[in-house]
Amino acid sequence: MAIPSSEETPKPTPTVHVNNIPQTVTAKDLLTYLESAIGSSSIFALEIFSEHNNWKSRGTGRVQFETFEAKSKALTLSNDEKLLFKSHFLRLTDSKDDIVPRPYFTRNRLNNCTLHAGFPIGVDCMSVLETWEGVRSWVMPERNRLELWVSHGGECYKLEIQFENIMESVGYCAGDSKPNALLLKLKYAPRIYQQKKGPDVDDKFTGNRYRFCKDNFGFMWVRTTDFTTLKSIGHSTSYFWEIVEESFDSDVFRSFPLYRETLMDLSLEEGNFCSPNETVPLVKCRLDSKLPYESLFQLNSLVHTHKISLASVNDELIDLLASLDEETKAVIFQKLHKMNSTCYEPLKYVKTQLHVLSIKNKSVLPSQHKRLVDNNIMSCHRALITPTKIYCLGPELETSNHVMLHKFYEPNSEPYLSMMLKAHYAYQLSDLKSRCRIFVPKARVLIGCLDETGVLNYGQVFVRITKTKNKEKFGDENLREVDGDDSTHIIVGKVVVTKNPCLHPGDIRVLDAVYNEELEEKGLRDCLVFPQKGPRCAFINYSMSFIMH
């Protein structure tokens, strides 16, 4: 297991963890009291942890404030023991997680924007494939992402742009003296989510007396594919984001990576590019074209790595490349791959390189295919297919297994070897389908053992875990301190136990993790203690298992 060399410093949030809440208090009661002490409309969201849904408070919860100033005031009052609520002093501590993820500062929450999706066709020109108005924009540098809420066909979608995928961000002054528009050039497409609401969607705020939120968040986001008719998001590599609000603070743009400003104007042209395939973006190529597959793959790879523009690949360029020999094309493709910027006129560039090669009178190198065969190397072309678009990768050089090919293997003459190959192939396919591992942050791999004391009832388990170097991700309300031992915790509450490997739905059980003084004194740690009571001993069903909340 890889251990990071250093831990990132957690970023402050406007949320606090609240302890010592009276058991009879609801979210509305706590909201009224805190706003009377801190200030009106100072709280955005609030939740009190409960044993069951909307029933039996645990006396702890979280409060998300509108501003950091309100949070600071609340922490000060708590430290001075001035938050006395129904004979209970509320104890407030910092929380690293928000109840509702949203921008920390008001200036980063914009509600009236215009978004253009497309790809550049020149240094100061962009082909626009799709435009959305009235876009709700959330800039969250603390989470390294930008969220854009767009409406399309009566549905609400969210485009999530990760900061790590931004290759360049350029600020433009669209009819203003200060930047009010931003051009984002992306390495990969944004993640797309669709808003789902209705009776089948669990609304954790409406009708829950232990939860409160100022805004309406009675919906959930579900990952989806490109929802546009012409696959505009899949074709797009750039997004031009215009801010319409007059009170906009242009310093928001400075939080984007690789940001720079320009005095030039960006020309927006209506684009009509449409790929003939459902898988986008792929360059258009006639069926009667003589361009080899390897060269066509290279062209698509250059487009996907932003070395050439998608709109600049036309029939004239394809015909010119088809007329060249293999080695000349390899030299030109290599030069294009090494470019540090996008080439918007590849046809002109190829003609220039051909002229340079003819002047140098460069000697013809041995065939690339022959060099690969002589060195037992094969050229592997890979394609990465995502929910939005395709990326052509490579070609990469790999060692090939040429012995079977050189010996002219015939399946009919070697039935045993043929059977072995089929069995190996079937095993690999089965392994891909069945051994899908999902990382669960709030989980541990533990050994199961039997409760020899007989104190546990059927459906109960005893779990005592060792603290890790990183801070535990289990909720504080589920962890019980051990007297005289600061290195372990005892988990109390609902846990999900799965058999390892988990191959059947029956291998998943929901059990109650309980505290027992007798089992604590035995010093059992990093294991699951199962009861021996019940119709069937739970210990028989599990060996090594995962636990998660």
* Residue type at 265 in one-letter notation: D
In the prediction, which pLDDT does 548 show?
47
Residues 264 and 160 in one domain: yes
pLDDT at 542 > cutoff 90 = no
68: domain CATH number is 3.30.70.330
Residues 145 and 83 in one domain: no
Q: Give a yes or no: residue 10 inside a domain.
A: no
pLDDT at 6: 38
Does the pLDDT value for residue 131 go beyond 50?
yes
pLDDT at residue 22, rounded to an integer: 95
Top-confidence residue, 84 or 503: 84
What pLDDT is stored for residue 226 in this prediction?
93
Does residue 99 fall inside a structural domain?
A: no
How high is the pLDDT of residue 213?
Answer: 93
Question: Of 48, 72, 94, which marks where a domain is finished?
Answer: 94
- Do 456 and 320 belong together in one domain? no
CA dist list (Å): 163 to 150, 166, 169, 207, 226: 19, 5, 10, 37, 20
What pLDDT is stored for residue 246 in this prediction? 77
Structural domain contains residue 56: yes
One domain, residues 225 and 301: no
Question: Could you tell me if 27 and 46 are in contact, meaning their C-beta atoms sit under 8 angstroms apart?
Answer: yes
Give the closest residue to 262 by CA, choosing from 244, 281, 240. Answer: 240
Is the CB of residue 17 less than 8 Å from the CB of residue 75? no
CA distance from start to end of the chain: 23
* Residue 440 tokens, joined: 């669960």
Distance CA 268, CA 311 (A): 14
pLDDT digits (tens, 9 = 90+) for 25-57: 999 999 999 999 999 999 999 999 998 888 889
- Where do the H-state alpha helices sit in 282-364? 293-304, 315-322, 326-337, 346-360
Distance CA 129, CA 270 (A): 7
Q: What is the pLDDT of residues 221-277, one digit of tens each?
A: 999 999 998 899 999 999 999 998 878 888 999 999 999 999 888 999 998 766 666
CA 539 remoteness from chain centre: 37
| Between 540 and 50, residue with greater pLDDT | 50
Q: Binning pLDDT at 50, 70 and 90, where does residue 409 land?
A: low
Q: For residues 262 and 128, state if they share a domain.
A: yes
Q: Are residues 264 and 285 in the same domain?
A: no
Whether the model clears a pTM of 0.85, i.e. scores above it, the answer is no
Structural domain of 322: 279-408
Domain co-membership, 287 together with 382? yes
Distance CA(99)–CA(213), nearest Å, equals: 9
Instruction: Report yes or no on 357 lying in a domain.
Output: yes
Q: Has residue 419 been placed in a domain?
A: no
Q: Are residues 86 and 221 in the same domain?
A: no
Instruction: Quote the pLDDT of residue 499.
Output: 77
Q: Are residues 252 and 288 in the same domain?
A: no
In a domain? residue 332: yes
Contact 513, 492 (CB under 8 A): yes
Strand 527-530, strand 443-450: pairing: parallel
C-beta separation of 60 from 49 below 8 A: yes
Which residues neighbour 447 within 8 Å (Cβ) at sequence distance 6 or greater? Answer: 526, 527, 528, 543, 544
| Separation between Cα atoms, residue 97 and residue 49, nearest integer Å | 14
| Residue 106 and residue 128 in contact, taking contact as beta carbons nearer than 8 Å | no
Are residue 383 and residue 298 in the same domain, yes or no? Answer: yes
Q: Which residue has the higher pLDDT, 480 or 120?
A: 120
The answer to whether position 123 is within a domain reads yes
Q: What confidence tens digit (pLDDT) does each residue in 319-364 have?
A: 999 999 888 898 899 899 999 999 999 999 999 999 888 877 655 4
Within a domain: residue 544? yes
Kindly indicate the confidence band of residue 506, based on its pLDDT and cuts at 50, 70 and 90.
confident
Residue 9 has pLDDT above 70, yes or no: no
120 lies in the same domain as 90: no
Give the CA distances from residue 420 to residues 88, 411, 413, 414, 417, in Å, rounded to whole numbers and listed in that order. Answer: 72, 11, 14, 10, 5
Confidence of residue 302 (pLDDT cuts 50, 70, 90): very high
- Cα separations (Å) of 52 from 57, 204, 549? 8, 13, 14
Are 496 and 548 within 8 A, CB to CB? yes
Q: Assess whether the previous peptide bond of 395 is cis (omega < 30° from 0).
A: yes
- Residue 337 sits in the same domain as residue 393: yes
Counted domains in the chain: 4
Reply yes or no on whether the pLDDT at 484 is more than 80.
no
One-letter amino acid at 303 equals V
A 10 A CB-CB count for 10 gives: 10
Using CA atoms, how far residue 453 sits from 132, 176, 531, 532, 544, in Å, is: 66, 77, 9, 9, 21
For the chain, what is the mean pLDDT? 85
Domain final residue, candidates 73, 94, 115? 94
pLDDT of 546 over the 70 cut:
no
Task: Assess whether pLDDT exceeds 50 at residue 288.
Answer: yes
- The last residue of a domain, from among 64, 94, 124: 94
Q: What is the mean pLDDT of residues 391-417?
A: 69
Higher-confidence position of 203 and 335: 335
- In degrees and rounded to multiples of 5, residue 537 shows phi and psi of -60, 125
Work out the average pLDDT over 121-126.
92
